[in-house]
Amino acid sequence: MRANIKDVSQAAGVSIKTVSRVINNERYVRPATRARVEEAMAALGFHPSQAARALAGGRSFQIALVCSNPGPYYLHGLIAGLRGRCAAEGVRLIVHAYEVEADELGADVLTFFRQMGFDGAILTPPIVDNAPVLDELDRAGTPYVRISPGVQRDRSASVAIDNEGAARAMTRRLIALGHRRIGFVVGHRSYAVSNQRLAGYLDALREAGIPLDLNLVEQGWFDFGSGRAAAEALLGLPEPPTAIFASSDDMAAGVLSVAHQRRIRVPEQLSIAGFDDTDLAKLVWPPLTTMRQPIRAMAERAAELLFSGTVEQVVLPSELIERASTAPRWG
Amino acid sequence: MRANIKDVSQAAGVSIKTVSRVINNERYVRPATRARVEEAMAALGFHPSQAARALAGGRSFQIALVCSNPGPYYLHGLIAGLRGRCAAEGVRLIVHAYEVEADELGADVLTFFRQMGFDGAILTPPIVDNAPVLDELDRAGTPYVRISPGVQRDRSASVAIDNEGAARAMTRRLIALGHRRIGFVVGHRSYAVSNQRLAGYLDALREAGIPLDLNLVEQGWFDFGSGRAAAEALLGLPEPPTAIFASSDDMAAGVLSVAHQRRIRVPEQLSIAGFDDTDLAKLVWPPLTTMRQPIRAMAERAAELLFSGTVEQVVLPSELIERASTAPRWG
DNA sequence: TTGAAAGCGTTACCAA
DNA sequence: TTGGTAACGCTTTCAA
């Protein structure tokens, strides 16, 4: 049978409470006593039951990462960014990836939160803007950090980049390269960042006095397939764009693949721009131009805010990466 | 205050035990009683405490996914494959990503397992071959499924592909294309699959009567950077290879980037082959040839084995994808 | 600085 | 088909 705290207390000749003090690194334990207890714990191969600690102490030692079914790089960046800090804090990471289409109302996520009192939560779009979910978290007193919130930004701690500004910068860049007909692939409708990026695009056009041609704006869903579909539509126009700015790298890769099939040389005949959290630019050849959202850094910062209890709206810089042939990001 | 099972039992006018029966969908509850209890639960917004269930019931309703710090596509494939089944089983997924270099002995993972009695575990390389960890799991009676085990394959349920056969097929393909000098980038030393893939490469050479040139074999670490380093070495040889087979797609992408820098046309002047779990082939242009490890399907199958309690060694087919220009995998 | 005892919210066992 | 009551293994409160 697994050793429990009582076994340890007997082996060490102290009370249960004292063992508990050692487990939790509390003060008021004489070094000698502490040593004796630790010895006993090691000898018995004792590891405190998290379930019991959670029940008695009201802490779960778990934080939740709630995200939609995101792309590989986004998910990886999140987990990579959270991993270290969680380990350092002795906390487990519960990954809850939900189906965006199937859970518009966040009901699933609500249930998820109500079952285990998490010590904290990290939310990503689009659930990050779901009021009932935020209400529940507030009600339960669970600290949480939102990544890329779209609404009520000052409601909680959050980490984001300036999506609108970044999209504006990218569009300006394309305009500076001489493009006047710039296609745009909008992101998933349920994500606030999609609108923010679209707004940046529109703003840059306005600023440059380029009239908006609605034929150049296609709806996408952040994935490779919808990028391809959008590219088919855009490149099939009587007067196709000379540049296409996709709201995510996955979609940009889709655009690239269509261009390739159509024997369109990139970037000579068609500039393709992506926007994302990925390292795709380093993998794709010839390269896309990418507006880089530092998702891993955002996750790291989110963990920092969560564990320090700081309620603050952090805005991290994004980064415009010209095509990798001129600005490689090797390593 | 959060409603507990006692509140529900009082509201419904039944005993605690009956509420428990309803929660756990046990038999021997009259439909009318069940309905009354469910009503009370809904009215009180009751959700059973997972901590209490875990403590009393000896089940944690959590399974662990233990992996090293894997690449984005690998991690994504794993989680995507496990997600649905976990949700269906009402079980949470705890992601434990550990540092391979820092945890050679699996001590960290051992602690991880001993703290919470998981209902099950999914292990991936290289910890999948760590005997102490497997022993601990056996001792605790925790069901587990190993993905791509390297040793003691019949020790537990597992899912794998035939790595050696796949690498052999890939090498044969390169030989069939007329290559005689085929570089090989070995995977990370701590992973058994690295040796398996190397064995397949060596076997195909032997079979074709091509003498092994050790200068053509470079050590890599599964990542982009080591792929670049290996390519620098191989392409810097007095007599460089005409094809390079990297044991992972990330490394293959690194090789590709070096080829690009050196103005080597791919695949006309240099064939590049990858081996992985990724969809890189669909993203990279010009394409690599890839031996595809269906990691998501492996994860799905692993979940199936885990939850059904089937102890079986499943071998899934891999797939040779010729360069994407001729065999696109769009969508 | 240490200890005794009362929870925490379930499930499991045994009766009824 | 239902209900008591003892675990489960820890934290917390209050004394000492």
Task: Please report, for the domain that includes residue A53, its CATH number.
Answer: 1.10.260.40
* CA–C1' gap, A27 and D13, in angstroms: 17
Q: Please check whether residue A327 lies inside any domain of the structure.
A: no
A168 and A120 co-located in one domain? no
The answer to the question of residue B322 being in a domain is no
Q: Dump pLDDT digits (tens) for A172-221.
A: 999 999 999 999 999 999 999 999 999 999 999 999 999 999 999 999 99
Looking at the domain assignment, is residue A321 inside a domain?
no
Q: Do B71 and A69 touch (CB under 8 A)?
A: no
CA distance A82 to B113: 20
Q: Are residues B173 and B92 in the same domain?
A: no
Looking at the domain assignment, is residue A89 inside a domain? yes
- Examine the domain organization and report whether A148 and A240 are in the same domain: no
B26 and B122 together in one domain: no
Q: How many Cβ atoms sit within 10 Å of the Cβ of residue B160? A: 23
- What is the pLDDT, as a whole number, of residue B280? 60
Q: Residue A312: is it exposed, middle or buried by C-beta count within 10 angstroms (0-12/13-18/19+)? A: middle
Identify the residue with better confidence: A102 or A229. A229
**A78 and A133 in a common domain:** yes
Q: How far is B210 from chain A (nearest CA, A)?
A: 32
Asked if residue B324 is part of any domain, the answer here is: no
Residues A85 and A38 in one domain: no
Instruction: Select the more confidently predicted residue: A9 or A246.
Output: A246
The answer to whether residues B311 and B240 belong to one domain is no
Say yes or no to pLDDT of A279 above 80.
no
| Angstrom distance, B160 CA to D14 C1' | 58
Which residues in chain B land under pLDDT 70? 1, 277-287, 323-331
A44 and A154 share one domain: no
Q: Is residue B19 part of a domain?
A: yes
Q: What string of H, E and C letters represents the secondary structure of A165-201?
A: HHHHHHHHHHHHCCCCCEEEEECCCCCHHHHHHHHHH
Does B253 fall in a domain?
Answer: yes
What Rg, from alpha-carbon coordinates, does chain B have? 25
Q: Least CB-CB distance to A76: which of B54, B76, B331?
A: B76
Lookup: tokens for A272: 């393709």
Which residues from A are below 8 Å from B60, CB to CB? 51
- The more confidently predicted of residues A140 and B121 is B121
B187 and B240 belong to one structural domain: yes
Please state the domain count of chain A.
Answer: 3
Per the prediction, chain A carries an average pLDDT of 89
| Of residues A330, A274, A283, A225, the one with CA closest to residue B274 | A283
In terms of domains, do A155 and A259 share one? no
| Chain B positions in Cβ-Cβ contact with residue A109 (cut-off 8 Å) | none
Are residues A283 and A308 both part of a single domain? no
Provide the pLDDT for residue B282: 58
Classify residue A331: in a domain, yes or no: no
B76, B101, B108, B118, best to mutate vs chain A, most A CBs in 10 Å: B76
State the nearest Cα–Cα gap between A40 and chain B, in angstroms.
16
Identify the pLDDT of residue B331: 25
What 3-state class would DSSP assign to B142?
A: coil
Contact flag A285-B55 (C-beta cutoff 8 Å): no
Higher-pLDDT residue of A128 and A20 is: A128
pTM of the model: 0.89
- What's the average model confidence in pLDDT over A121-134? 95
Q: Is 60 exceeded by the pLDDT of residue A325?
A: no
Print the domain residue range for A121: 62-161+297-315
CB nearest B260 (choices: A77, A111, A285): A285
Q: How many residues does chain B have?
A: 331
Give pLDDT tens digits for A52-103: 988 888 888 899 999 988 888 889 899 999 999 998 888 989 999 888 888 7
- CB A91 within 8 Å of CB A303: no
pLDDT confidence tier of residue A286, bands split at 50, 70 and 90: low
The single residue listed with the structure tokens 């490394």 is: B251
pLDDT class of A148 with cuts at 50, 70, 90: very high
| Least CB–CB distance from B75: residue in A76, A94, A254 | A76
* Of the candidates B101, B94, B98, B89, the residue with the CA atom closest to the CA atom of residue B117: B94
**Rounded to an integer, what distance in angstroms lies between the CA atom of residue A285 and that of residue B254?**
11
Is the pLDDT reported for residue A329 higher than 50?
no
Residues B283 and B227 grouped into a single domain: yes
- Kindly report the three-state secondary structure assignment for every residue of chain A: CCCCHHHHHHHHCCCHHHHHHHHCCCCCCCHHHHHHHHHHHHHHCCCCCHHHHHHHHCCCCEEEEEEECCCHHHHHHHHHHHHHHHHHHCCEEEEEEECCHHHCCCHHHHHHHHHCCCCEEEECCCHHHCHHHHHHHHHHCCCEEEECCCCCHHHCEEEEECHHHHHHHHHHHHHHCCCCCEEEEECCCCCHHHHHHHHHHHHHHHHHCCCCCHHHEEECCCCHHHHHHHHHHHHCCCCCCCEEEECCHHHHHHHHHHHHHCCCCCCCCCEEEEEECCCHHHHCCCCCEEEECCHHHHHHHHHHHHHHCCCCEEEECCEEECCCCCCCCCC
